[in-house]
Structure 1
Amino acid sequence: MTPRGFTKPLYILPFDHRGSFETGMFGWKGDLTPEQTAEIAAAKRVIFDGFQKAVGDGVDKDKAGILVDEQFGAAILRDAAALGFHFAMAAEKSGQPEFDFEYGEDFAAHIEAFKPTFCKVLVRYNPGGDADLNREQAARLKRLSDYLQGAARSLFMFELLVPAEKKQLEQFKGDKKAYDRELRPQLMIGAIEELQRAGVEPDVWKIEGLDRREDCEKMVATARQGGRGNVSCIILGRGEDDKKVHEWLTTAAAVPGFIGFAVGRTDFWDPLVNMRAGKITREEAVTEMARRYREFVDVFEGAKGVA
């Protein structure tokens, strides 16, 4: 089946982080208490408020969107729907090397309960990695893809991560930046093609940051090959600093087929840490998140059509 695709501008603020919130932000391990769960949910509410402020301050609502998880963000998902925002919902288990459904065989019921604009998966898939693992992941992802292609169901957003295999990294003497620049782009193309052959048909690909325009152009061409002309790409922030994220946004924005971005941690992490440490107020955190998100929108918009 050919995907429906999505071609409108799309500026996503993702805060579907789960394991990184529990351990990295809060320092908690093991099963959470109801109080701890509520505290993380409250932190995510701050991020959502920052997003809403950015829209109130001038970011085009039709281009704006959020990505959040059901575990800590169920109320936010419902509010986003009621307020008419584009919103994406995570379907994968957090922090696992292998893709699997967060809610197992009940995955469809959870998607239908919220009816998100996009159902999102994060998948680590290296075509030079474990072939059996890749086949198992692709089979699960095809189930989801086939389900989502049903009438009036959510669009499919696919976050593709291609972590280096040990031998691949050794080619660059352990230099991850060299791997990212010289090898990862072609591995990403190989991963997309393998997944397409396996019947996995996203409407939007979330792509790790690329340093070269030609790599962005190849990514779009691969995503849209074979009659997939309405499939688009958005660029990820990967938690990098502002300077690097600005570079990636600028490079991608100039390429037709890259319709936007998904930048999360670079936007909200520091303001949230500072708020929790008592260095800034909740209102100041909301304002800073809104400012950062608006800045990323301005960078992307400003770079559109640049040769």
Structure 2
Amino acid sequence: MSLLILAVDQRPWLTQALYGHTGTALPAQRAAITDGKHLVLDGLLAALDAEPRLAAHAGILVDDQLGAGVPERARARQVTLSMPVERGGCDLYETEPADLPGYLAHFRPELPKVLVRYNPDGSAADNREQRTRLAGVSQAVRDSGGRFLFELLVPPTAQQRTIPGEVFDTEVRPGLIHRAMAEIMPEVPVDVWKVEHLGAPEHYRRAADLAAETGGECILLGANAPRATVDGWLTDAAANGFTGFAIGRSIWWDSLRGLLAGELTRPEAIAAVAANYRHFAGTFLQ
């Protein structure tokens, strides 16, 4: 079954984008961001009300820090719940919260998620340490009854940054993603891989086949790309073994920013989120 996740777990990025800092949000800022994350859920629910066939596939990825109350509302509506268990903005993976078993027992997310920056051509010691940490997280997730969602980002090394960006994205990074998956899989059981776009169809197929070797699957992240670009990625991914997506800012950023700027009413913002989610869902499922 397809897994179509609306991602709204951004924390440091969101406070930076909205308020120009990555520190602790001030009370008024926190309230505005939290309200915005509830708006995103409202948009998802509006999409499901308008198109009930999507309910079986729908999920939301949200944090409890700036999204307080959203996980509970999502569970009450039987939306698949994914929640982050990493400290935001870290180059080397760190688990957050400290009491991971307690956190998982309290919120009961079906898909606890980690975001990991891992380049197989990077520091071997750092990569080894990350695998060790993540093996423990994977076990805790399995012990909780959840499925482990692993968001893999492959930032270029200093040497790779000399490669033109488009060449790196389409010709170099796909192979690095495949290698990273192959290094991680023997030590860290993963149920769902969330990966960046892979360019050529055969690169998507290779990632899907790698994941399947250990009973896993792949979904595509949106990377805040324009709609037409994401549509192309989704079409290639769906045709080559991927089972869904986790798209965030491409769905809700304009609505949230417009609402906070007074350019959109709340009903208009909710309707726009719903329309964007339905569009990408339709593109993937067609």
Contact 1:127 1:190 in 2 (8 A): yes
Return the letter of the residue paired with 1:160.
Answer: L
2:276 to 292, 295, 299: 292
In the alignment, what sits opposite 2:64?
A: 70
Taking the aligned partners of 2:257 and 2:95, their CA distance within structure 1 comes to 30
Return the letter of the residue paired with 2:230.
Answer: V
1:142 and 2:135 correspond:
yes
Taking the aligned partners of 2:24 and 2:142, their CA distance within structure 1 comes to 35
Contact 2:58 2:79 in 1 (8 A): yes
Deviation of residue 28 (structure 1)? 4.0
| TM, length-normalised to structure 2 | 0.96
Residues 15-55 of structure 1 deviation map (CA, whole Å, 9 limit, x = unaligned): 00001111112334433333332221111111111111011
1:208 and 2:208 correspond:
no
Q: How does 1:46-85 map to 2 (within 5 A)?
A: 46-59=39-52, 60-85=54-79
Taking the aligned partners of 1:12 and 1:232, their CA distance within structure 2 comes to 14
1:164 to 151, 156, 162: 156
Deviation of residue 176 (structure 1)? 1.2
Taking the aligned partners of 1:153 and 1:295, their CA distance within structure 2 comes to 32
Q: Which runs of 4+ in 1 moved over 3 A?
A: none
Query: Number of residue pairs matched?
Result: 285
In the alignment, what sits opposite 2:38?
A: 45
Return the letter of the residue paired with 1:193.
Answer: A
Taking the aligned partners of 2:113 and 2:31, their CA distance within structure 1 comes to 23
Taking the aligned partners of 1:53 and 1:41, their CA distance within structure 2 comes to 18
Deviation of residue 84 (structure 1)? 1.0
Q: How does 1:224-243 map to 2 (within 5 A)?
A: 224-225=212-213, 228=214, 230-243=215-228
SS of the counterpart of 2:220?
A: strand
Return the letter of the residue paired with 1:264.
Answer: G
Residues 159-204 of structure 1 deviation map (CA, whole Å, 9 limit, x = unaligned): 000011121232x2xx11110111111111111111112x211100
Superposition RMSD in Å: 1.2
Residues 117-158 of structure 1 deviation map (CA, whole Å, 9 limit, x = unaligned): 1000100000000111111111110001112222x5111000
Taking the aligned partners of 1:181 and 1:222, their CA distance within structure 2 comes to 19
Taking the aligned partners of 1:125 and 1:117, their CA distance within structure 2 comes to 24
Residues 267-303 of structure 1 deviation map (CA, whole Å, 9 limit, x = unaligned): 100111111111111110100010011000111111x
* Structure 2 gap ranges (5+): none
Taking the aligned partners of 1:284 and 1:240, their CA distance within structure 2 comes to 22
1:253 to 220, 231, 238: 238
1:109 and 2:102 correspond:
yes
In the alignment, what sits opposite 2:178?
A: 189
Percentage of matched positions with identical amino acids: 37
Return the letter of the residue paired with 1:166.
Answer: A
Contact 1:128 1:165 in 2 (8 A): yes
Taking the aligned partners of 1:190 and 1:158, their CA distance within structure 2 comes to 15
Contact 2:113 2:151 in 1 (8 A): yes
1:86 to 73, 80, 98: 80
1:131 and 2:163 correspond:
no
In the alignment, what sits opposite 1:4?
A: none
